[in-house]
Amino acid sequence: MLPLHDRIEVTPFFDLVHTLNLGAAFSFLANAGGWQRHFFTLLGLLVSFFLIFLLWRGVRSRLETLAYVFIVAGALGNVVDRLRIGAVIDFLDFHWYGRHWPAFNSADCFIVIGVGIMVFTSLMRQGHKEDV
């Protein structure tokens, strides 16, 4: 395991790092005093259970099912980190010509992909309604 705050350069624009995020996306509320750990853990669990309930009731398409599964997997991945060590481990670090994107993890990727699929399916449904 890579020691905390160390980095391995993979390409000129991508590094593997070991950082801990006490907050949410972009370290939002990271310095809030500790209550945010429990809040984001509870939020991740509530969103996951809600989406699992919607899956159990049935969704419109396989693509929508895939979106929900991606979001649940990402949310629960971050919940596990928060319960296990009190923070989310971020390790993907992109940068380009002095511009730096905050480090993130694969669970975050799953959430973003899942939300993207949901937006896509929603736009496709709206497009079909307008054709009628």
Q: Just list the catalytic residues.
A: 90, 108
Strand partners, 17: 7
Hunting for tokens 């993130």 — which residue is that? 104
Please report how many Cα atoms fall inside a 13 Å half-sphere around the Cα of residue 4, on the Cβ side.
6
Tell me the pairing of strands 14-21 and 7-11. Answer: antiparallel
